[in-house]
Amino acid sequence: MYSKKANINLLTARLIAHDIRDIVVCPGSRNAPIVHNLYEAGSKFQLHPITDERSAAFVAIGLWIKRKRPIAICVTSGSALLNCLPGIAEAAFRHIPLVMISADRPLSLQGQLDGQTIPQQGACLPYARCWQIDEIEEDAQAWEVNHDLQTAFAALSDNGGQPIHLNIPISEPLFEFTTKELPKVEVSTKVNKPVAKLPKHWQELLYNAHLPLLIVGQYEESFIPAIQQLRANNQLLVYAENISNQQDARMALWLDEQKLSPDSVIHIGGCLVNKFFKQHLRTISQLPVLRIDETDECPDTFFQKAEKLTCNPAEILQQLVDTLPTKNEVAAAYSQLRPPEHTFDYPIEAMFVGNSTAVRWTNRQWPVLNVPIYCNRGTNGIEGSLSTAAGYSLVAEEKILCIIGDLSFFYDANGLWNQHLDGKLRILLINNQCGAIFHHLPGLKETPALPHLVAAAHHNSAKGIAESYHCTYLSAESSCVEEDAHHLLIKLLNIESTRPVILEVFTPI
């Protein structure tokens, strides 16, 4: 039997109709009627219990990376919703469709010193648009609530994908489960967009260019075969760091040092990691830049008054394979690349890296990488790095490698507070007892505040955390993680365990 609350039953029916199958659920009483419905629906949903709401939205991001379909999060009233905000912001900047469901108390209780009662409507703005799904007292309200839910779920695919917020007021009594069936709802049919074409002036510009450049920021969709062809045919230079997931970052590393000046740029994907070449491009006068993505936005990352083409980048890149000639200057640049010093050949399904030092280290260590690599580069914060990897591992088939620094790990240690995690999650924790990246910023060494107030120096170890969360704990010391990486990964990946494995590597800055 389902809840007596009609707004909760409509919400449940819409989740099923819109194929929202994975839902992160957090504990609480106000959201318990919603959780009851999700549980009552049986195989329609796979529920992922997460106690700490600060982890919940990041776990949902990890699930989305694996599933590539919208993921929902359900929390109780009060500050529970606010604790999800960093993860919602991360999803917004990466155009990840999450459904943030917050149970709420009746509006009449706000401002009356009632417990766990805060203004929740619009609390996720500007990162997620909010729909208030009020309780239903009469048939006319039912139509309006159903229409609002249909509009909200349709908005998940707007702007290239985005999170939404559904705020659900629930009055007492909460726990009456008397409804036999969920209401019937319909889903509108989506219209496929026609294949876009590169504008004629850009076709001519790229055809005649001597050193055209494709820049790929963080890219979480499938590997684009056309990029490999453009490289092999010497038609375009391709600047693609590891988190672009285009399998070869050597040209990006080389351009960071050489700072060649292209005569035209195509820009796709999200944030870049290194800033050196980006800053160089900002100094070039009147550099033509075409931004291609499926959003309504046009980031002018290189300060060149970029033009915008709204479509799937893969469609345009395949057109370039078919039309661009071989470029001699492009071929000369590719001839400078050398085979990688370190190869990556380990039995993992995907790699997750923390921000700051970890993402930069992996880019240098394994510039040629044939496994997917992910990082929270939407807001570029340290929160949620471990929780995101944990979320992916919940539905992974093979082992997941998470490479993370000490501050990111300790900040997000509650990502391990999950009895459903198993031995697929493997964590390489680089503990240099501070935020090492701060020690490499020009000029920052001049302040005596650096060690303790800026870089957060500490003497902590993950051993106690591993014991608390029933993880397998290993430790090692290394004077050079780059040289020892192979032996460390073999040690981490080969041990048998039914729970997550942490290898904590103590190393100097």
Mean pLDDT, residues 372-400: 97
Mean pLDDT, residues 254-281: 95
Helices (runs of H) and strands (runs of E) counted in the chain: 17, 17
Is pLDDT of 410 > 90?
Answer: yes
Helix H, strand E, coil C: the string for 101-129 is: EEEECCHHHCCCCCCCCCCCCCCCCCCCE
pLDDT of residue 455: 84
pLDDT of residue 503: 98
Is pLDDT of 271 > 90?
Answer: yes
Question: In this predicted model, what pLDDT tens digit does every residue of 220-234 receive, in sequence order?
Answer: 988 899 999 999 999
Q: What is the CA radius of gyration of the chain?
A: 25
pLDDT of residue 106: 87
Choice among 165-179, 192-206, 474-488 with the minimum mean pLDDT: 192-206
pLDDT confidence band for 499 (50 / 70 / 90): very high
What is the per-residue burial (b if ≥16 Cβ within 10 Å, else e) of 177-193?
Answer: eebeebeebeeeeeeee
Is pLDDT of 177 > 80?
Answer: yes
pLDDT of residue 69: 97
pLDDT of residue 97: 98
pLDDT of residue 265: 98
The structural domains of the chain, ordered by start, are 6-169 (3.40.50.970), 200-334 (3.40.50.1220), 350-506 (3.40.50.970)
Question: In this predicted model, what pLDDT tens digit does every residue of 412-461 receive, in sequence order?
Answer: 999 999 999 999 999 999 999 888 888 878 888 889 888 888 888 889 99
pLDDT of residue 347: 95
CA dihedral over 365, 369, 375, 378, signed as positive or negative = positive
Determine the 3-state secondary structure of 356 from DSSP. coil
Average pLDDT, the chain: 95
Is pLDDT of 108 > 80?
Answer: no
Mean pLDDT, residues 31-60: 97
CB 427 within 8 A of CB 505: no
Is pLDDT of 191 > 80?
Answer: no
pLDDT of residue 402: 98
pLDDT of residue 257: 93
pLDDT of residue 486: 95
Q: CA triplet 27, 31, 32: central angle to 5 degrees?
A: 75
Is pLDDT of 241 > 80?
Answer: yes
pLDDT of residue 335: 96
Is pLDDT of 378 > 90?
Answer: yes
pLDDT confidence band for 117 (50 / 70 / 90): confident
CA dihedral over 201, 207, 211, 217, signed as positive or negative = positive
pLDDT of residue 467: 97
pLDDT confidence band for 466 (50 / 70 / 90): very high
User: Amino acid identity of 92?
Assistant: A
Mean pLDDT, residues 151-170: 96
CB 4 within 8 A of CB 177: yes
Is pLDDT of 109 > 80?
Answer: no
pLDDT of residue 436: 83
How far is Cα 74 from Cα 86, in angstroms, rounded to an integer?
16
